[in-house]
Structure 1
């Protein structure tokens, strides 16, 4: 018997949500989308195994708040992907959940109307529908796995997932990552250190049992097999970058000491660019030059890119927002994205096959 004197004292309400299988029945995975997801997951795994000599580039908006702009971005990315496909494997960044240092907009799933109404069920519908459209267009998709419940609703459409710097140390996120179907990138800690990420990689590779939900929304014991495709993502820390050859070499040594495969992804944003989008192409250029000079551990990059340059503050009326411009971290615009990746392709197209 519930006793309202001792429990739920700070709970205002508790609303039942649509179950994962109900949402998937309404927004079903098509055969073409399923094929796209399976092929993209395998391609990334082949790159991580060294069987595919290309680099994979996770590129796209810091966060998705406008699905129309996301579709337009996806169309442009698809065309660019075809131009560079012999050297670079482009994966669209489709981030619906945003970790906050204190408070702020937590992403499209949590607050799709951007008005603090927190219509989460609506956000799940919008997010899944967008992923379906992009997958059916043949785009590989990436997201950040932040909430431990939401993967049941959307992970069947995701090729690659990130675990952020704030959550790489979290046991909940390590356990969740061990059960994800695609490869997962774990970022170094916000202090720039590697210990948290190295420990996380070891944990993620092992089986776990933990509390979660099943397709019917029931609380369940989730038992995982372990994810063998975890890898480190260097994103800098404490305002200092860690993408240069010295930091990459130190990361290689730490991975080797832990008995882990030397797969390194470089996040060109965050502390590596001091959150200045103008510096992201310089990080891409540096990583490219490291590969030309003989680096064999860099397997991928992450770039924050949008239709328009920079970012903008939230407005009381979302209709007043500038189209195609981020409302979270500042991004490079499409023209800069296209030039940066075409330049990278041209420099590496004769290098990577012999790597």
Structure 2
């Protein structure tokens, strides 16, 4: 698997520096932040964190390729808004993951960017104060510090890549990445995924289209050259060799789930027709549960039933869970510690029950295939 350090970067003489200093004109302004090199110098990748990230990448790649017959589970808050709550969740999840490691490969969602259909809170990285001040410098430091501490616990990390500049600051801490339904058709994000040093899930389009996700996987597997960001903060031409570990994530659409057996078969058919591996990850939230956190647990168990029945194309499940079930409004008086401010999430007790059920399903699939008990 390639790493960012192995990719070719060609510095450009673009006007990036002038834009940062003087503003970009029109209706926007640009304000400088720390460079990727400065941030990694302040918060360097430690040896324990590096071991966790590396092991997580190998683990996810093996599960997704079918070399490891466990079930991948990507679970955690819809988006992180409270670092202390995220750390408490991580410590509990780490303990649970160790206990279920025979059957599940657990990765924690640490999503610090929040894509919006129109407007709204854009995530810890962009707006750490939750007040619209958009202190990116503080957000970058908070995001990296949080990820570093979670990685040092020995827990692999997942995130969604939204800003094309974010990987220069954070990619060395990530074991699994996602390209969301709103950006899966974006050439920029397909190029970005082609150079990321971890498996990347391509979600089906927000309208339900699977073909755009399949096309994204095909595109990201090929070499690209694109305008990126170097460690010194200057624009750079990044040349990639392609990412062979991209895959489709079934996330449903409004009023139209796609997690049932016939949906998995259709996804496998489209992937096979494109000469791609047929393994998929299923997102039990979003369109597959109508963003209903109570329904999400039901969907997860139904996916588990398919796994237990022997479906080998289902390689992973995505779940949205936090300490307290439901959601609350950002900045609300009397904020609830450990409750989402974006999509409603399952609470900890329900999440633990669902993970135990998925572990049992994974064990039964293995037994049905004549593998180790």
TM range (shorter): over 0.9
Of 94, 118, 128 in structure 1, the residue corresponding to residue 134 of structure 2 is: 118
Of 71, 85, 90 in structure 1, the residue corresponding to residue 106 of structure 2 is: 90
Query: What residue is the counterpart of 1:275 in the other structure?
Result: 291
Runs of 5+ consecutive residues of structure 1 not aligned to the other structure? none
Query: What residue is the counterpart of 1:348 in the other structure?
Result: 362
Query: What residue is the counterpart of 2:7 in the other structure?
Result: none
Query: What residue is the counterpart of 1:261 in the other structure?
Result: 277
Is the 8 Å Cα contact of residues 58 and 302 (structure 1) preserved in structure 2?
yes
DSSP-derived class of the 2:252 partner: coil
Report the Cα offset of residue 195 of structure 1: 1.0
* Distance (whole Å) between structure 2 residues aligned to residue 226 and residue 66 of structure 1: 35
DSSP-derived class of the 1:105 partner: coil
Report the Cα offset of residue 316 of structure 1: 5.9
Query: What residue is the counterpart of 2:345 in the other structure?
Result: 331
Is the 8 Å Cα contact of residues 309 and 365 (structure 2) preserved in structure 1?
no
Of 175, 184, 188 in structure 1, the residue corresponding to residue 200 of structure 2 is: 184
Of 47, 50, 53 in structure 1, the residue corresponding to residue 63 of structure 2 is: 47
Query: What residue is the counterpart of 1:107 in the other structure?
Result: 123
Query: What residue is the counterpart of 2:215 in the other structure?
Result: 199
Report the Cα offset of residue 221 of structure 1: 0.5
Does 2:244 correspond to 1:228? yes
Of 3, 21, 25 in structure 2, the residue corresponding to residue 8 of structure 1 is: 25
* Distance (whole Å) between structure 1 residues aligned to residue 367 and residue 70 of structure 2: 8
Report the Cα offset of residue 313 of structure 1: 0.8
Per-residue CA deviation, residues 272-302 of structure 1 (Å, 9 max, x unaligned), is 0011011112111111111222211000000
* Distance (whole Å) between structure 1 residues aligned to residue 146 and residue 331 of structure 2: 23
Does 2:216 correspond to 1:215? no
Per-residue CA deviation, residues 137-172 of structure 1 (Å, 9 max, x unaligned), is 000000000000011001100000010000000000
Report the Cα offset of residue 83 of structure 1: 1.2
Of 337-346 and 321-330, more deviation after overlay is shown by: 337-346
Query: What residue is the counterpart of 1:159 in the other structure?
Result: 175
Report the Cα offset of residue 350 of structure 1: 3.9
Report the Cα offset of residue 49 of structure 1: 1.9
Return structure 1 stretches of 4+ with deviation > 2 angstroms. 350-355
Runs of 5+ consecutive residues of structure 2 not aligned to the other structure? 1-14, 19-23
DSSP-derived class of the 2:248 partner: strand
Report the Cα offset of residue 50 of structure 1: 1.3
**Structure-2 change in CA distance of 1:298 and 1:180 (3 Å):** same
Report the Cα offset of residue 351 of structure 1: 2.5
Of 305, 319, 325 in structure 2, the residue corresponding to residue 289 of structure 1 is: 305
For the aligned residues, what is the CA RMSD?
A: 1.4
Is the 8 Å Cα contact of residues 53 and 353 (structure 1) preserved in structure 2?
no
Is the 8 Å Cα contact of residues 177 and 198 (structure 2) preserved in structure 1?
yes
TM-score under structure 1 length normalisation = 0.96
* Distance (whole Å) between structure 1 residues aligned to residue 50 and residue 331 of structure 2: 37
DSSP-derived class of the 1:98 partner: coil
Query: What residue is the counterpart of 1:68 in the other structure?
Result: 84
* Distance (whole Å) between structure 2 residues aligned to residue 196 and residue 344 of structure 1: 29
TM-score under structure 2 length normalisation = 0.91
* Distance (whole Å) between structure 1 residues aligned to residue 26 and residue 352 of structure 2: 53
Aligned length: 348
DSSP-derived class of the 1:349 partner: helix
Is the 8 Å Cα contact of residues 115 and 316 (structure 1) preserved in structure 2?
no
Per-residue CA deviation, residues 231-255 of structure 1 (Å, 9 max, x unaligned), is 0000001321000001111111111
Report the Cα offset of residue 51 of structure 1: 1.1
